[in-house]
Amino acid sequence: MGRKGVMIRKGILKAFDSDTYKASVQVIGSLSVWLDNVTVSAALNRADMVAGRSVVLLSLDPSNPDDCILVGLWGVPQEPPAPGAHENTHTDGASDEIDSALDPRAYPLLAGALANRPAAGIDGRFFWTTDEHILYRDNGTSWVKVAVADHADLDGIGGSDHHAKTGNDEVYGLLRTGLDASKPAAGTAGRFYWATDSRILYRDTGSAWEESARGETATRLAQLSEKAHSSLTGVGASDHHAKYTDAEAKAASVDNTPYDPAGWNGVTDVAPSKDAVRDALEDHYAAADPHSGYVLESLLDAKGDIIAATADNTPTRLAVGTDGQVLTADPTQATGIKWATSSAGADNNARILAFMGV
């Protein structure tokens, strides 16, 4: 009822905000609607705004249900009806068993020690083992493990199987940091270690740590440019250049210098070593040529010494005689000659000439 353009409606108060003086109302009638933020008349006492009370709504625009004002109250709030008789517990399989696929109470959570877990056979129920801290689900034929508190209780999963490596861009292994000397022993293949002091990234091969990358520091650059050969990592005593000793140089000269006794034929742009020259002279001395008959000058010691032969190719020294002596043949002497005093009346000049073969 109401005048033209204004409509009065009945409803039930559902909620009231005393700060904003707004209410939520369920309109009762041929068209039941739920209105929020309905303005409440300031003439109404906020203490009377109790959910469940009947209210009067004044609709200023019937075509717009939201354009309403709550202008009156009547009746008292009604208490909800007392619940009927209800069992304290529900027994599996009994007449009061809750069995609704939409009701979570259809899947009760049981708890207790593993030894007290009932036999499987009721699909959908859960059991939490208080001693193992494992949640099982009954699939109707067996208890299936669905959640665990400890990683070691996961079935078919190893201690490092949190993340399976299936692509090159995925996270793989663990990156640990610390001093270079504090690296743990190698043995877990695939993990990495960043040495904060040496700025080296290591990778564990499973048996050793191998360098993967370096962040060069001033210290490391100085190490790379230093002259101390022995301090270079992985470089042996002879790796950068061939170690060359005097003995090796001598051997190289002897071995690599060709020698031709017949006049150094074939030797070009190579100076012979002293050993090569010595060997050549020894070969030349031993050869059967005229030079082998040379008499050493050291055989002569004093003025007047002469050279005589004691045998074939055997020269010797014959010292000078005294005044008045002449060189005389004497087969008894080793040299076949001697210095002797001239006999009286002998022709000394003739003797000398005869000796000389004149």
Q: What's the average model confidence in pLDDT over 199-225?
A: 80
Please spell the DSSP secondary structure of 64-84, one letter per residue: -TTSEEEEEEES-PPPPPPP-
Q: What's the average model confidence in pLDDT over 302-330?
A: 85
Q: What's the average model confidence in pLDDT over 185-201?
A: 88
Q: How many whole angstroms separate alpha carbon 318 and alpha carbon 329? A: 13
pTM of the model: 0.24
What is the distance, to the nearest Å, from the Cα of residue 276 to the centroid of all Cα atoms in its chain? 56
Does residue 230 sit within a domain? no
Identify whether the C-beta of residue 272 lies closer than 8 Å to the C-beta of residue 259.
Answer: yes
Q: How many whole angstroms separate alpha carbon 188 and alpha carbon 194? A: 15
Structural domains in the chain (count): 5
Please spell the DSSP secondary structure of 207-257, one letter per residue: SSEEEEEE---HHHHHHHH---GGGSTT--TTSSS----HHHHHHHHHHHS
Contacts of 68 (CB under 8 A, 6+ apart): 9, 25, 35, 38, 39, 57, 58, 59, 60
Rg over CA atoms, the chain: 64
Q: How many whole angstroms separate alpha carbon 323 and alpha carbon 270? A: 59
What pLDDT does residue 47 have?
Answer: 85
Cβ neighbour number for residue 59 with a 10 Å cutoff: 20
Does residue 282 sit within a domain? yes
Residues 304 and 281 in one domain: no
Does residue 223 sit within a domain? no
Residues 126 and 184 in one domain: no
| Average pLDDT score, the chain | 73
Both structure tokens of 306: 């002469």
Residues 19 and 59 in one domain: yes
Does residue 295 sit within a domain? no
pLDDT of 102 > 50? The answer is: no
Does residue 239 sit within a domain? no
Among 20-24, 171-175, 255-259, 341-345, which stretch is predicted with the lowest mean pLDDT?
Answer: 255-259
pLDDT, one tens digit per residue, over 289-309 is: 555 567 777 778 888 888 888
Does residue 293 sit within a domain? no
**Range among 27-36, 64-73, 161-170 with highest mean pLDDT value:** 64-73
Does residue 69 sit within a domain? yes
Q: How many whole angstroms separate alpha carbon 246 and alpha carbon 46? A: 116
**Residue numbers of the domain that contains 320:** 300-355
- The dihedrals phi and psi of 137, each to the nearest 5 degrees, come to -125, 135
pLDDT, one tens digit per residue, over 40-66 is: 888 888 888 888 888 888 887 766 767
CA dihedral for 68, 70, 72, 73, sign (positive or negative): positive
265 vs 230, higher pLDDT: 230
Contacts of 228 (CB under 8 A, 6+ apart): none
Does residue 186 sit within a domain? yes
Please spell the DSSP secondary structure of 85-132, one letter per residue: ---SS--TTSTT----TT-GGGS-EEEE-GGGPPPS-STT-EEEETTT
pLDDT of 75 > 50? The answer is: yes
Secondary structure tally for the chain: helices H, strands E: 4, 17
pLDDT of 276 > 70? The answer is: no
**Range among 79-88, 136-145, 173-182, 318-327 with highest mean pLDDT value:** 136-145
pLDDT of 250 > 60? The answer is: yes
Among 85-99, 243-257, 267-281, which stretch is predicted with the lowest mean pLDDT?
Answer: 85-99
Q: How many whole angstroms separate alpha carbon 66 and alpha carbon 64? A: 5
Residues 68 and 12 in one domain: yes
What pLDDT does residue 101 have?
Answer: 45
pLDDT of 125 > 70? The answer is: yes
Residues 70 and 11 in one domain: yes
Distances (CA, A) of 257 to 26, 250, 271, 281, 287: 120, 11, 8, 16, 22
DSSP letter at 333 equals: S
Buried b (16+ CB within 10 A) or exposed e, 121-139: eeeebbbebeebebbbbbe
Contacts of 32 (CB under 8 A, 6+ apart): 26
Identify the band that residue 242 occupies on the pLDDT scale cut at 50, 70 and 90: low
Using CA atoms of 42, 43, 47, 48 in order, give the dihedral in degrees to the nearest 10: -120
218 vs 252, higher pLDDT: 218
